[in-house]
Amino acid sequence: MIKYLKAATRFEDYPTSSLEMVICGRSNAGKSSFINALFNQKIAYVGKTPGKTRLINFFETDPGYTLADVPGYGYAKISKKELLRFGEMMEEYFKKRACLKLVVLVIDIRRTPNDDDLAMLEVAKDRGLEILIIANKADKVNQSDRIKNTRRIAEGFALDIDDVIAFSSLKKKPLDKVSAAIMQKLGLQ
């Protein structure tokens, strides 16, 4: 079960929480689709036009943690001023959100980590947060590429292969594996 709490841009407006997971990644990687698949509920907005979300959307889940859906990065059609505001908002979130424990980074399985992805991961590593990479849109590639690309993504991030899970938000597979990894990294099981 997942319930929408609120949208916020500033620290003062974040909802109270003692345990949080954030979903981040490049624009159009499938962050919102991933949230919907994970909870089997159409709750996060899946956009036809990328880069619509400019706020941090907070949700409450029934395993007892909150979830933050942050805007995707790397969207080209954004003004300098907006980019600056986005950067400030993200920096404040990652610096001040004390209950944040797990960073889930969603990446298209057909891509390799770019500078923005690596910078994002660096922020998470610096704070000593738990990390899980979702190699999304796994339905777009065949089985052998799925394995190959997952390995390539893990190498690109300099992470253990176990920290990268090939996933299809469209097919909602493999849901159990992803849920278990999240619960384990949040210390809920």
Contacting positions for ligand GTP (CB under 6 A): 25, 27-33, 46-47, 50-53, 72, 136-137, 139-140, 168-170
Residue 108 Cβ vs ligand GTP, minimum distance, rounded to whole Å? 8
How many CA atoms lie within 13 Å of 165's alpha carbon, on the beta-carbon side? 20
Which residue's CB is nearer to ligand GTP, number 70 or number 102? 70
Q: Is residue 57 within the footprint of Mg ion (CB under 5 A)?
A: no
Helix pair angle (115-126, 143-157), 10° resolution: 60
Residue 170 Cβ vs Mg ion, minimum distance, rounded to whole Å? 15
Site for Mg ion in 14-43 (CB under 5 A): 31-32
Site size with Mg ion, rule: CB under 5 A? 2
Residue 98 Cβ vs ligand GTP, minimum distance, rounded to whole Å? 25
Contact in structure between 67 and 61 (CB atoms under 8 Å): yes
Contact in structure between 132 and 51 (CB atoms under 8 Å): no
User: Two tokens at 145?
Assistant: 């590429």
Which residue's CB is nearer to ligand GTP, number 45 or number 187? 45
Residue 145 Cβ vs ligand GTP, minimum distance, rounded to whole Å? 14
Nearest-CB residue to ligand GTP?
A: 72
4: nearest Cα among 35, 55, 44, 48: 44
Contacts of residue 172, Cβ cutoff 8 Å, sequence gap at least 6: 37, 40
Which residues in this chain contact Mg ion in the complex, by CB under 5 A? 31-32
